[in-house]
Amino acid sequence: SVQKTDYSINTSSLLIAAFKVFQQELDTKHDKYERLVKLSRDITIESKRTIFLLHRVTSVPNVEEVLNEADVKLDAVRQKVGQIAEELRGEDLYQFHKAFTSGVQEYVEAVSFHHFIKHRTLISLEEINARLVFMRHEKMDTKVGAEVLWPGTCVLTFQVTHTDYLLGVADLTGELMRMCISSVGNGDMDTPFELSNFLREIHDGFSYIGNTGPYEVSKKLHTLRQSLSKVEDACYTLKVRGSEIPKHMLADVFSSRTALMDQDEGVP
Amino acid sequence: SVQKTDYSINTSSLLIAAFKVFQQELDTKHDKYERLVKLSRDITIESKRTIFLLHRVTSVPNVEEVLNEADVKLDAVRQKVGQIAEELRGEDLYQFHKAFTSGVQEYVEAVSFHHFIKHRTLISLEEINARLVFMRHEKMDTKVGAEVLWPGTCVLTFQVTHTDYLLGVADLTGELMRMCISSVGNGDMDTPFELSNFLREIHDGFSYIGNTGPYEVSKKLHTLRQSLSKVEDACYTLKVRGSEIPKHMLADVFSSRTALMDQDEGVP
Amino acid sequence: MSVTEMFSYIQGFLSADQDIREDIRKVVQVLEQTAREILTVLQSVHQPTGFKDIPSKCLKARELFCTVQAQIADLKTKFPVEQYYRFHEHWRFVLQRLTFLAAFVVYLESESLVTREEVTNILGTEVDREKGFHLDIEDYLAGILIMASELSRLAVNSVTAGDYGRPLRISNFINELDSGFRLLNLKNDPLRKRYDGLKYDVKKIEEVVYDLSIRGLAKEQEAEGDK
Amino acid sequence: MSVTEMFSYIQGFLSADQDIREDIRKVVQVLEQTAREILTVLQSVHQPTGFKDIPSKCLKARELFCTVQAQIADLKTKFPVEQYYRFHEHWRFVLQRLTFLAAFVVYLESESLVTREEVTNILGTEVDREKGFHLDIEDYLAGILIMASELSRLAVNSVTAGDYGRPLRISNFINELDSGFRLLNLKNDPLRKRYDGLKYDVKKIEEVVYDLSIRGLAKEQEAEGDK
Amino acid sequence: MSVTEMFSYIQGFLSADQDIREDIRKVVQVLEQTAREILTVLQSVHQPTGFKDIPSKCLKARELFCTVQAQIADLKTKFPVEQYYRFHEHWRFVLQRLTFLAAFVVYLESESLVTREEVTNILGTEVDREKGFHLDIEDYLAGILIMASELSRLAVNSVTAGDYGRPLRISNFINELDSGFRLLNLKNDPLRKRYDGLKYDVKKIEEVVYDLSIRGLAKEQEAEGDK
Amino acid sequence: MSVTEMFSYIQGFLSADQDIREDIRKVVQVLEQTAREILTVLQSVHQPTGFKDIPSKCLKARELFCTVQAQIADLKTKFPVEQYYRFHEHWRFVLQRLTFLAAFVVYLESESLVTREEVTNILGTEVDREKGFHLDIEDYLAGILIMASELSRLAVNSVTAGDYGRPLRISNFINELDSGFRLLNLKNDPLRKRYDGLKYDVKKIEEVVYDLSIRGLAKEQEAEGDK
Amino acid sequence: MSVTEMFSYIQGFLSADQDIREDIRKVVQVLEQTAREILTVLQSVHQPTGFKDIPSKCLKARELFCTVQAQIADLKTKFPVEQYYRFHEHWRFVLQRLTFLAAFVVYLESESLVTREEVTNILGTEVDREKGFHLDIEDYLAGILIMASELSRLAVNSVTAGDYGRPLRISNFINELDSGFRLLNLKNDPLRKRYDGLKYDVKKIEEVVYDLSIRGLAKEQEAEGDK
Amino acid sequence: MSVTEMFSYIQGFLSADQDIREDIRKVVQVLEQTAREILTVLQSVHQPTGFKDIPSKCLKARELFCTVQAQIADLKTKFPVEQYYRFHEHWRFVLQRLTFLAAFVVYLESESLVTREEVTNILGTEVDREKGFHLDIEDYLAGILIMASELSRLAVNSVTAGDYGRPLRISNFINELDSGFRLLNLKNDPLRKRYDGLKYDVKKIEEVVYDLSIRGLAKEQEAEGDK
Ligand SMILES: [Mn+2]
Ligand SMILES: [Mn+2]
């Protein structure tokens, strides 16, 4: 067979030399992308587990304990976010955004759920970002993009984007809905109304933003509306059921029920 | 608010004890799944890079060198497959199949491409599996599912499924098509016809299987048919172009051309 | 081996695979039929008149479970024992239904949660995966969750039938179950969705208990409910 | 900060973002218009008469690139310098086209491959990402591949115009380019697809060279082609 | 026969087919209009005032079914009798709606389940498939399931209208229906999906009965409902 | 006219068209912003405290509708009046939303159905298609259906807020609306799909009324609601 | 006006609209038939024997265009003139086909590009949008692009038929067309997609010219083609 | 008849239906297997060596068609003859494939278009719909179109195999087929889509003929192909 002379062996070629540089540049980028994807998956899993843990607050007496345990878990997640920040040192965050956006959204969901349970307010983007500041000891020379505090130490930050924040909060509403239904199931008469108001505020916020936000947000609006309607229905049920008995009698009813169940406790 | 008595603190509960076991079982499974996904991604990337490397054979004089380099890369990939086998020790392969199927398919694609270039035949499933046997030194006690050869050492095997093999071979055809076009571009008059026959055999094989195979295979048939038609077109062009000059003159034409290009070589 | 031989070999494998699946499908269809029969037996407990002879209905269901055991024994012969998960999708659904039915029978008999071991005894599967045809943990959990939803219905209908003690006992049971599930880290999968449904069952039962409480109907049967 | 305030704040951010994108879109539209004009100038080299005054066409294109530089300078002012990849999609396509045009001009002038540095000079972008508005490496490569396809067309048309030396020189050039690309590990992305197209360009040019060879038409201009 | 002749002949065939479909579509549109009118008549039973004169509404609906019969008679003339399934999709939907309406009328009149024979009498179709334009069994079942969902609504509204006996009777009826459907081995098709909806209707009606029970509103009519 | 001249002329035409679309898009964006502001005002009626000052919220919404009128007046100037349907897609969505909002305001004020004429007055569009920028009848109907779903939410929340009379009135209103829609012969289009959603709203509201009835909470206001 | 009256009125409106659409659909079907007939006449120019009597084929096509004119005249009567864009989708496709056919006839007759005015004359539509049933400019352009692809086929087949001069003339024509289109700023719409196909036509024709050149077959007719 | 009896009866009916479908599926699977075997035989004509013994391949295919006839005879026994369209979807696909194979054999043997009657003879189906298991006309057309695309592949590969006369004959054949299809008024259905593919086949084959013409390879056989 007739084979053409090869050009790639012409190692002196400027063109080939240039492409060898390109090869390295591309491989480096892809490798970084892969590492970020893996970090993102880890963050997703741990955040989800934190959310599961937090749902226990509706059934345990010691809420603080759960919150602390969750905070420890979240600290571990933040360490992973720190690793992302490390990877992004001196890079353009948006260049690799697709690799870790889903993990970050899940973290926002977890941390805002934690915050809501503790403070009954919506965590702000600033508050989230304030906890994503990492101290690093530099073994080698200081790199670009990291602020030098004193020799050998620097501060790394990670900035959650507005869109990731919004998407995380949109998912939060699903967890709030679950918490609301659980509260009703546990005989809690106040939390559902509180959650309903909070969820309604978030819903109104999202409908104020409407379709000016990113496409992914609009996609989640339907689920959000369903969650709200489930919560409103739950509050409605509490109200109509409660309407059958004068308000001042409720306390009696419940104290007797609690007593009733204390007796039952030994039964598996 | 009225809060119900909690049952989860009732640590003596048999039910809760059972669910603690379930929690561990599920977490262990999910963690394993995640590790397998990561291994699969690594395998995919390295296999793809091997394929890129192998495509250089159409332009370099020393094919052996490229093949050896590719084999070294494939060895690294096999190590990763070994790690999968390690994870699957004593497990049901199919339980975690979704986690690593794409990586394994890509490995099949790479290794069968390597095999075709070397032997001009289709690698068999047995040949593939024969190279996925791993020796392991056991630090701890011997586990189930691994055959014990002598104390401290055992053999681990990984079995590529028939479906993954088929899907990998289906993807191989795309690479064969690329190789065919490259060969024509490099003035190689024989490889295209060889590739066209081989590809036609694979095509006929797939159409013999038809829709009795898994759904994913049927999906790839269209691409396969397109590849075949590109290769057939290339051979057709070689033939009609070649028809304008008597066969015995071809050698002259090409030897003069090669000479011509040798002179040019210094020009970038 | 030539390309043609290779594809013939693979085609042989694929045919065999399809035959296995066909065989499995047939047994599973029969199993589904038996499951529907057990369901029909147990459904009648929701009728006002059904509350009286729960024990006899349980016995009848137990008998049908012998048929199930035979059918599952048949199913086991249809495929290589170590390839359970290769064909899992085929029987996943029916095993969940059967687990639900077993759990429901056990609950009706003893008001306790069936263990995974008990279910495997009732259905005639293995306990350990290594031993062969077993019950996947997620399928077991799914079956339990189906039962939870049946129990919320039972709570409602037991009030209609005039049994005011049962709802409170169901409430205690289901609350403990809920606590158990809270310990699990579920993925975003069908099981998670089903578990979300459990919250509604808990809520529904809570409402029934509330209705009984404000009318003072729960108290009289308290002693009885303690059993 | 209340929920309402939070959403107002976010809404403010989103509006600002939209405004930026609107601004970028407008400049990019103007850039695309200029790119089409340069293309029209360069397209005429494919005409039988066009081969004579390639240099004058290149000069004219060079002038238009000054306009491009001004427009890119304008584009740079529309968004924060460190957020290049946030808005990348907006100008990705036009930058690839402009790279192609720059590479084509340089090839026509000197029959050599434009370097990434040269393109950044011609377009008025930065070389280093850190310095600001730069040319993404994949966009540079995409532009080069568009040119390769244009060169295969040029090889065909140069034969029509009676220039039998050019195809062989193009063939050498494009083969070296192909060797370069073989070194890269591309993902399954648009660039990979485009690179697959390069194989067809190489094949096409090879066919032209073959046609010339068997007719002995390549030889006479060999000396000329060596320049 | 030349190719042209053959294709001309085929075109004649295709035109005839399209004409038939056009004719069918027109009659089906008219049928849908009549179905909507019957629905409007029957919908008013859900109004608080509607419970009083159910008989007169049924009479009115019966009259409209005469129109339906005429329209179906017309439909039968539009296509060859043995090609029922060739055009089935065109009237499938409206026949299901009409079956629902017929079943609803019969239930309101006699609180019993309409048989397939009765539906064919009311609509003017054939009983046996062999005899011609008949009611497909799956369409009959679909119509019955639509009615089940309408009955759960009726149970709710009858309480609003102060009729506390009806829900219990509906509950019994629907339970029997549910047992009936459990005898069927449905495939994974639209009918199966619709049947899955039935359990929600069953549950809804049970909750209505529960609400009446816990308030002691069901007792007086229980004996009556037991029949 | 040379080809170049002709295409230059055509480009002029296309540019003009694109400019029109750009202008329309901008005004529509502003309209959407206003619509969202009205929505925010009206949505607050769902809050427990919101039921007290519905009138003041309506007033505020009415003020914002003046802004809408100005913006629609602006929109009218952006394109030739007879090309309404050429650009219909641009404003179709926002007009449906605005119709919903107008219908909701009118319902909150007077508990009656807004007519198409009233909507055109509130929005400042023409009544007759011939007169220019009008409200397409299908868009009017779509807006009405969006309101129906908002009313079912209002029925639920009004109970939560302790207003037990409103649900019954909403129920009557929505039933009348349903009868109206049943007169229409809708094609299989988006409107038909939306209309299918109406029956869920009807059912939902009926269940609210049921919950009030069985607890004797609806009685005091029943007489009133009957009118 | 009561709700019922209002909806009856609306139904009248909807019916009228559906009738119009039905009428339009029928005429369009007939138009499509005529278009297919013209196509059959013109297709024969691709046959080796077809090159001889192009003029007679054009005459025959011209006759059929008289039928088209009558059918379009009929179409115009089916809807109010100012609602052209309301029903545009119905005839958009066939008008593009007819434009292609008109452009092809004109090219075969005079080797020149048909203007929009000429097309409107041939089809019997209005030139100005204001005057009524016109040819939308984007549909005109789409028709032209369909012809371009037909011309690349003609270039190939004219070589087969032994006419070596035509490809070069087609090449010049299509290059001019391409330059023309490059003046347009097309959106990302179907037209843009079609235009992207043009460059394949250009390339294909260039390759035909190349094949003739390298074999010295183009020379004799070159002078002629240059005009 | 009680509800239970009625549903038992219905279940009997449904079972029978499912059994029929199961039977049909099995025979169809076997038919598909035979079809794939015929395909394997015929596909070998594309191999360089395959052109020599087309006749022997056709004979082998003819033999396999005897098996097809037996299998179709078996299929006919599986369901009542007048319910062809009830189960049409089950065999539609395989009948189209078999029609393609029959048409391909006939073309290879005699270079003529198989008629529907011939296909029915080869497959052993009825000619008239009234007579029973027939070949639906749209399935016949679909099979023909599959063959057209196979022929364009054959044209390419016959050149590779050194047979320069065949492409021209295929070209004439396919042009005639195209004219035939243009007589049909196809709806916007799968058949229409398939037909749109035909023009690519036509073009592809024309380009093959062109390549032969320009190299003077088609001449010797031209006279023959002209007939
Ligand atoms: Mn979540
Ligand atoms: Mn690949």
List the alpha helices (DSSP H) in chain C.
3-43, 54-76, 88-110, 116-123, 137-160, 166-182, 190-214, 222-226
- Say yes or no to pLDDT of E53 above 60: yes
In words, the CATH class of domain A161-245 is mainly alpha
CATH 1.10.10.10, domain B21-129, yes or no:
no
Q: Exposed, middle or buried, B69 (CB in 10 Å: 0-12/13-18/19+)?
A: middle
Residue A188: CB partners within 8 Å, gap ≥ 6? A58, B1, B2, B3, B4
Q: How far is G216 from chain F (nearest CA, A)?
A: 31
| CA of A112 relative to ligand 1 center, distance in Å | 11
Task: Report the half-sphere exposure of F193 (CA within 13 A, side-chain side).
Answer: 3
Q: Do B37 and A34 touch (CB under 8 A)?
A: no
Largest CA distance in chain G: 85
Q: Which helix (H) or strand (E) holds D68?
A: helix D54-76
- Say yes or no to pLDDT of H62 above 90: yes
Q: How many other C-beta atoms lie within 10 A of the C-beta of residue E184?
A: 19
* Contacts G217 to H, Cβ<8 Å: 214
Measured CA to CA in angstroms, residue C62 lies from A172, A200, C108 at distances of 45, 50, 12
pLDDT at A129: 97
Residue range D167-185: mean pLDDT, rounded: 95
Stretches where chain F sits below pLDDT 70 are 1, 219-227
* Contacts D47 to G, Cβ<8 Å: 175
Length of chain C: 227
Which one of D29, D156, D215 has the shortest CB-CB distance to G210? Answer: D156
pLDDT at B2: 38
Greater confidence (H7 vs G131) lies with H7
Phi, psi of B145 (to 5 degrees): 85, -10
Q: Which residue has the tokens 């393109």?
A: D119
Q: Do H8 and E183 touch (CB under 8 A)?
A: yes
Reported ipTM: 0.92
pLDDT at H189: 87
pLDDT, tens digit (0-9, with 9 covering 90-100), for G161-190: 999 999 999 999 999 999 999 999 988 789
Nearest ligand to the CA atom of B47: 2
Q: How many other C-beta atoms lie within 10 A of the C-beta of residue G54?
A: 15
* Contacts C208 to E, Cβ<8 Å: 210
Measured CA to CA in angstroms, residue C103 lies from C172, C183, F102, G196 at distances of 16, 20, 55, 64
| CA of B179 relative to ligand 2 center, distance in Å | 12
In the sheet with A153-157, reading across from the earlier edge strand, the strands are A133-137, A153-157, A147-150
Residue range H79-108: mean pLDDT, rounded: 96
Q: How far is B92 from chain C (nearest CA, A)?
A: 7
| CA of G222 relative to ligand 1 center, distance in Å | 72
Which one of G178, G179, G213 has the shortest CB-CB distance to D160? Answer: G213
- Say yes or no to pLDDT of A247 above 50: no
Q: How far is A174 from chain F (nearest CA, A)?
A: 19
Lowest model confidence (mean pLDDT) among A194-208, C116-130, G45-59, H110-124: G45-59
Q: Do E178 and C43 touch (CB under 8 A)?
A: yes
Q: Which residues pair with F134 in a beta bridge?
A: F126
Measured CA to CA in angstroms, residue G180 lies from D36, F5, F10 at distances of 11, 9, 10
pLDDT at A244: 81
Cα D180 from Cα D159, distance rounded (Å): 27
Nearest ligand to the CA atom of A170: 1
pLDDT, tens digit (0-9, with 9 covering 90-100), for F80-105: 988 999 999 999 999 999 999 999 99
Nearest ligand to the CA atom of A179: 1
> Helix G190-214 crosses helix D137-160 at what angle (to 10 degrees)?
40
In chain B, where are the structural domains located? 21-129, 161-243
- Say yes or no to pLDDT of D185 above 60: yes
Measured CA to CA in angstroms, residue E9 lies from C19, E209, H137, H179 at distances of 45, 66, 11, 14
* Contacts C214 to A, Cβ<8 Å: 244-245, 249, 253
Residue F76: CB partners within 8 Å, gap ≥ 6? F132, F133
Joined together, the tokens standing for residue D120 give: 């950044």
Joined together, the tokens standing for residue G70 give: 């009558």
β-strand pairing of B153-157 with B133-137: antiparallel
b/e per residue E146-168 (b: at least 16 CB within 10 A): bbbbbbbbbbbbbbbbeebbbbb
In words, the CATH class of domain B161-243 is mainly alpha
pLDDT, tens digit (0-9, with 9 covering 90-100), for E1-15: 789 999 999 999 999
pLDDT, tens digit (0-9, with 9 covering 90-100), for H207-220: 999 999 999 987 65
Cα A29 from Cα D184, distance rounded (Å): 12
Interface size between D and G, measured as CB pairs under 8 A? 34
Q: Which residue has the tokens 């194989």?
A: D199
Which one of F88, F141, F177 has the shortest CB-CB distance to G3? Answer: F177
Q: Is the dihedral of CA C40, C42, C45, C49 positive or negative?
A: positive
Length of chain F: 227
DSSP calls for H138-155: HHHHHHHHHHHHHHHHHH
Q: How far is A151 from chain B (nearest CA, A)?
A: 37
**To the nearest whole percent, how much of chain F has pLDDT over 90?**
84
Tell me which CATH code domain A25-130 carries. 1.20.58.190
Q: How would residue B136 be classed by pLDDT, with cut points 50, 70 and 90?
A: confident
Mean pLDDT of chain F: 92
Q: How would residue A189 be classed by pLDDT, with cut points 50, 70 and 90?
A: confident
Tell me which residues of chain F have a C-beta less than 8 Å from any C-beta of chain E: 175, 178-179, 182-183, 185, 203, 206-207, 209-210, 213-214, 218, 226
Largest CA distance in chain A: 100
Task: Name the residue in chain D with its Cα closest to that of A17.
Answer: D180
- Say yes or no to pLDDT of D61 above 70: yes
Measured CA to CA in angstroms, residue E65 lies from A15, E33, E109 at distances of 85, 12, 15
Residue D68: CB partners within 8 Å, gap ≥ 6? D31, D34, D35, D38, D98, D122, D123, D124
Q: Do D182 and B268 touch (CB under 8 A)?
A: no
Q: Do A92 and D82 touch (CB under 8 A)?
A: yes
Cα F214 from Cα F203, distance rounded (Å): 16
What does the CA dihedral E204, E209, E212, E217 come to, rounded to 10 degrees?
150
CB E57, CB H58: distance < 8 Å: no
Q: Do B241 and D226 touch (CB under 8 A)?
A: no
Domains B21-129 and B161-243 share a fold: yes
pLDDT at A245: 67
Q: Do B2 and A56 touch (CB under 8 A)?
A: no
Which one of D29, D156, D162 has the shortest CB-CB distance to G207? Answer: D156
Tell me which residues of chain G have a C-beta less than 8 Å from any C-beta of chain F: 1, 3-4, 6-8, 10-11, 13-15, 18, 82-86, 88, 113, 115, 129-130, 137, 141, 176-177, 179-181, 183-187
* Contacts B59 to D, Cβ<8 Å: 175, 178-179, 182
Task: Report the half-sphere exposure of E219 (CA within 13 A, side-chain side).
Answer: 6
pLDDT, tens digit (0-9, with 9 covering 90-100), for A17-73: 999 999 999 999 999 999 999 999 999 999 999 999 999 999 888 999 999 999 999
Q: Do A23 and D183 touch (CB under 8 A)?
A: yes
Largest CA distance in chain C: 83
* Contacts F217 to A, Cβ<8 Å: 240, 243
Greater confidence (C219 vs F222) lies with C219
Among A115, A112, A222, smallest CA distance to A160 is for A112
Domains observed in chain D: 1-135 (1.20.58.190), 137-227 (1.20.58.200)
Q: Which helix (H) or strand (E) holds B136?
A: strand B133-137
